[in-house]
């Protein structure tokens, strides 16, 4: 019994580390990073459903197939990030904009952060929808499940802060598996939110 439990823990740890390692390698290559994020969410859904993990060849083909649509989505998010950071931290425009711009920029930034992870979920669930449709579906989902979207955003921000603040030699091994853990968290939050009896009938 104990040996079986230890084996399951080791097997789960290895699976998470393997998934995370593929994502980190794609992140280093930059261009396939958005597609790897979509793939990681796809793999997390399979893990939660108890499906057999994809082999390396299937994984690479999936990432290659999703590279262009996911890259478009990633570039949109990059553009939104540049705009919001410029609005929040850029030079003051002066006049009435000094009063109007800050709250508008904060509202847009918060909305973008709530929608960001769910746009990749939407693209995974409907790869043919395109980047703009993925954003639209993610926006509708975040509004319909505001608490779930906020909790997800908080978890992602906490993970990013942990990776940034903890020394590299301490966070290295857990950090390899962290992307897979976060993908499983996003999928679990999605399943729980959409299965709630009082949830609005809106799916990503």
The string of pLDDT tens digits covering residues 142-175 is: 999 999 999 999 999 998 888 888 776 666 777 8
Q: Which pLDDT score, from 0 to 100, does residue 24 have? A: 94
Residue 78 lies in a domain: yes
Residue 202 lies in a domain: no
202 pLDDT higher than 70: no
Residue 204 lies in a domain: no
Model's pTM, two decimal places? 0.87
**What H or E segment, with its residue span, contains residue 104?**
helix 97-125
Hey, what's the torsion of the CAs at 53, 57, 58, 60, to 10 degrees? Answer: 110
11 pLDDT higher than 90: no
If you ran DSSP here, which 8-state letter would residue 50 be given?
T
Residue 44 lies in a domain: yes
Residue 164 lies in a domain: yes
- Number of domains comprising the chain: 1
Residue 201 lies in a domain: no
**DSSP symbols for 127-174:** TTS-HHHHHHHHHHHHHHTHHHHHHHHHHHHHHHHHHHHS-HHHHHHH
- Using one digit for the tens of pLDDT, what is the confidence trace for 85-127? 887 787 777 777 777 777 888 888 899 999 999 999 999 999 8
Backbone φ, ψ for residue 51 (5° rounding): -80, 160
- Tokens encoding 126: 């409907």
Residue 32 lies in a domain: yes
| 110 alpha carbon, distance to own chain's centre | 15
119: buried, middle or exposed (CB in 10 Å: 19+, 13-18, 0-12)?
buried
Residue 34 lies in a domain: yes
* pLDDT, the chain, mean: 86
The C-alpha atoms of residue 195 and residue 48 are separated, in whole angstroms, by 15
197 pLDDT higher than 60: no
What average pLDDT does the segment 47-56 reach? 83
The C-alpha atoms of residue 64 and residue 160 are separated, in whole angstroms, by 26
201 pLDDT higher than 60: no
74 pLDDT higher than 90: yes
The C-alpha atoms of residue 179 and residue 174 are separated, in whole angstroms, by 10
């Amino acid at each position: 019994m104990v040996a079986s439990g230890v084996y399951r823990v080791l097997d789960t740890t290895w699976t998470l580390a393997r998934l995370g390692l593929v994502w980190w390698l794609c992140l280093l290559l930059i261009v396939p990073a958005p597609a790897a994020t979509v793939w990681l969410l796809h793999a997390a859904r399979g893990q939660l459903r108890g499906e057999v993990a994809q082999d390396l060849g299937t994984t690479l083909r999936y990432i290659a197939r999703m590279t262009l649509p996911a890259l478009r989505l990633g570039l949109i998010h990059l553009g939104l990030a540049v705009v919001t950071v410029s609005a929040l931290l850029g030079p003051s425009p002066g006049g009435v904009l000094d009063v109007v711009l800050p709250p508008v920029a904060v509202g847009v930034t918060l909305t973008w952060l709530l929608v960001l992870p769910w746009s990749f979920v939407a693209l995974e669930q409907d790869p043919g929808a395109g980047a703009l449709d993925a954003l639209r579906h993610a926006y509708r989902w975040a509004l319909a499940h505001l608490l779930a979207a906020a909790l997800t955003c908080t978890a992602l921000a906490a993970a990013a802060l942990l990776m940034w603040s903890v020394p590299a030699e301490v966070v290295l091994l857990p950090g390899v598996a962290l992307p897979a853990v976060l993908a499983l968290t996003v999928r679990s939050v999605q399943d729980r939110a959409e299965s709630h009896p009082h949830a609005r009938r809106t799916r990503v």
